[in-house]
């Protein structure tokens, strides 16, 4: 649905800072390279504690980070072949089903407790990231991780991965990514200026905004945005929010993919893939790649990110101190984004309620039968 691009005053819905996630999507847990065979780590997806391990065959698994025996965190355990053993008593769990497959001190003729099961989650690896589906496992095949066509060893793009941690609700972080009007914040870093919202459209799970922005300076030249540092270049930038992740493109010059991990009501993480067409000869980029992999994130991307984090966390602190305070927004893209986030959560709550009612009716019917 096409929306008006007129900048006009609207009251921000404070409920946006209180909503949870729709878990029936794929969420990133971390970079694949950070988990070696035999290692176990922990992660949290909207207050769901998860233990992730890579078995001795190199496959990843995700289990609820709680042993059904005494409640000990399973990420403290040990990988045994393809299973994960709790550090306390050595109970082993199958990474695919979550079932207990071994209790060291149980006689071979004795049966394992049928309730000795921990929840398992669908997982996959793609684009250098580990992904988990924290919702209804039966729906995992109906969703896919975001498409990243620039990714690949044969790509002409220069890719920079970067991780961020925010002490803020995920909606605050999402609004920052959709809001091109905050270039004022980055003016000392030679960021963008003179933004104009050109087009805006939305569906029940997405928002697409097209802006026009201008660039000037040495950074713009290095990133291939302009031929000379002293000239102003004006380009369109398209931002696509497909719940719950982002993709933005600057007319074939650069692309950014933001993979969101909502941790809790006041904590979020982001795993980003930046792709650039650098203003350097291709023959020069390859030998300089190790140096560029160090320089670009630290000296070019991180300064922008640090400024954003400071603003987002300030916004969260103010909301936490006074949730009743009303705020005003004039960017219709932000209002559209908030509506999608709220709608996705409400849809999940409604579907969960209907599913629970159906299950209850089934139990009652079976009992009456």
Q: Report all structural domains of the chain as residue ranges with CATH numbers, in order of start.
A: 26-142 (2.102.10.10), 158-341 (3.90.380.10)
| Span 144-158, average pLDDT | 86
Name the nearest CA neighbour of 206 among 239, 155, 241.
241
| Span 243-270, average pLDDT | 94
Q: Output the pLDDT for position 224.
A: 67
Q: Which are the contacts of 87, defined by CB distance < 8 A and separation ≥ 6?
A: 72, 76, 77, 78
Kindly state the percentage of the chain with pLDDT values over 90: 67
Residue 359 has pLDDT above 60, yes or no: no
The span from the first CA to the last CA of the chain, in angstroms, equals 49
Strands (E), 216-357: 233-242, 245-250, 254-264, 267-276, 328-329
Q: Output the pLDDT for position 356.
A: 58
Q: Which residue has the higher pLDDT, 297 or 260?
A: 260
Mean pLDDT of the chain: 90
Confidence of residue 368 (pLDDT cuts 50, 70, 90): very low
The CA angle 199-202-204, to the nearest 5 degrees, is 175
Residue 369 has pLDDT above 60, yes or no: no
Residue 191 has pLDDT above 80, yes or no: no
| Span 296-304, average pLDDT | 87
Q: Output the pLDDT for position 338.
A: 96
CA dihedral angle for residue 101, residue 105, residue 111, residue 116, rounded to 10 degrees: -50
Residue 219 has pLDDT above 90, yes or no: no
């Amino acid at each position: 649905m096409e929306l008006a691009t007129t900048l006009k005053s609207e009251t921000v819905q404070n409920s946006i800072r209180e909503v949870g996630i729709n878990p029936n999507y794929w969420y990133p847990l971390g970079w694949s390279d950070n988990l070696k065979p035999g290692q176990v780590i922990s992660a949290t997806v909207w207050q769901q504690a998860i233990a992730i391990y890579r078995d001795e065959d190199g496959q990843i698994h995700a289990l609820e980070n709680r042993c059904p025996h005494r409640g000990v965190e399973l990420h403290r355990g040990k990988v045994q072949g393809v299973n994960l053993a709790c550090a306390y008593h050595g109970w082993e769990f199958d990474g695919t089903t979550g079932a207990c497959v071994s209790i060291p001190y149980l006689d071979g003729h004795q049966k394992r407790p049928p309730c000795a099961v921990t929840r398992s989650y669908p997982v996959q690896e793609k684009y250098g990231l580990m992904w988990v589906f924290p919702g209804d496992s039966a729906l995992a095949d109906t969703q896919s991780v975001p498409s990243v066509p620039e990714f690949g060893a044969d790509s002409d793009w220069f890719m920079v991965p970067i991780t961020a941690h925010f002490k803020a609700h995920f909606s605050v972080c999402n609004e920052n990514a959709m809001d091109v009007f905050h270039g004022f914040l980055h003016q000392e870093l030679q960021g963008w200026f003179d933004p104009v919202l050109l087009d805006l459209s939305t569906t029940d799970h997405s928002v697409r905004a097209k802006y026009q922005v201008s660039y000037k300076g040495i950074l713009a030249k290095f990133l291939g945005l302009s031929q000379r540092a002293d000239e102003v270049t004006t380009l369109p930038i398209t931002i696509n929010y497909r719940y719950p992740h982002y993709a933005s493109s600057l007319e074939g010059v650069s692309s950014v993919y933001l993979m969101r991990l909502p941790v809790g009501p006041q904590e979020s993480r982001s795993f980003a893939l930046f792709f650039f067409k650098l203003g350097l000869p291709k023959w020069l980029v390859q030998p300089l790649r190790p140096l560029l992999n160090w320089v670009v994130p630290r000296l070019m991307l991180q300064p922008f990110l640090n400024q954003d984090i400071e603003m987002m966390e300030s916004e969260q602190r103010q909301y936490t101190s006074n949730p009743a305070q009303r705020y005003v927004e004039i960017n219709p893209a932000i209002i559209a984004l908030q509506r999608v986030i709220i709608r996705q959560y409400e849809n999940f709550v409604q579907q969960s309620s209907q599913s629970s009612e159906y299950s209850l009716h089934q139990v009652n019917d079976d009992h009456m039968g």
